[in-house]
Amino acid sequence: MHAASNAVWIAKAAGHRKAKAMVTVKASQKIFTDSEVASLTGICVDHLRNFAKSRHLGFIARAAERAGLQADQWLFTISDLMVLVTLFPRCTH
């Protein structure tokens, strides 16, 4: 039930946007990876990361890989997701 109310809230935040701006997520999910956000919003990962950097959205989590190197993983909150859905159009490429 909460997932549906989250979807409506995101759609109302978009206001002027068409119904395609609506995104449905589980109410229990608080953090989203960049790949999850990309699949939910239709924004490619490159554009998503560039937009997030320029608008100070999301945050970077550093995780050690098997090789011992640091890898950057962008994480987003539900608030970040609402901003992205409202302001950034789906990628067409």
Distances (CA, A) of 30 to 15, 26, 40, 89: 23, 9, 14, 23
| SS3 per-residue string spanning 27-88 | CCCCEEEHHHHHHHHCCCHHHHHHHHHHHCCCEEEEEECCCCCEEEEEEEEHHHHHHHHHHC
Question: Does any domain span residue 79?
Answer: yes
pLDDT of residue 8: 46
Q: How many domains does the chain have?
A: 1
CATH of the domain at 55: 1.10.1660
Is position 93 within any domain? no
Confirm whether 13 is domain-assigned: yes
pTM above 0.75, yes or no: no
Q: Average pLDDT, stretch 53-76?
A: 73
Give the highest mean pLDDT range of 13-27, 57-71, 76-90: 76-90
Give the model's confidence band at 39: pLDDT under 50 very low, under 70 low, under 90 confident, else very high: very high
22 pLDDT band (50/70/90 cuts)? confident
Which two three-digit tokens encode residue 65?
A: 């890989």
Per-residue confidence (pLDDT) for residue 13, from 0 to 100: 53
Determine the structural domain holding residue 29 and report its residue range: 2-87
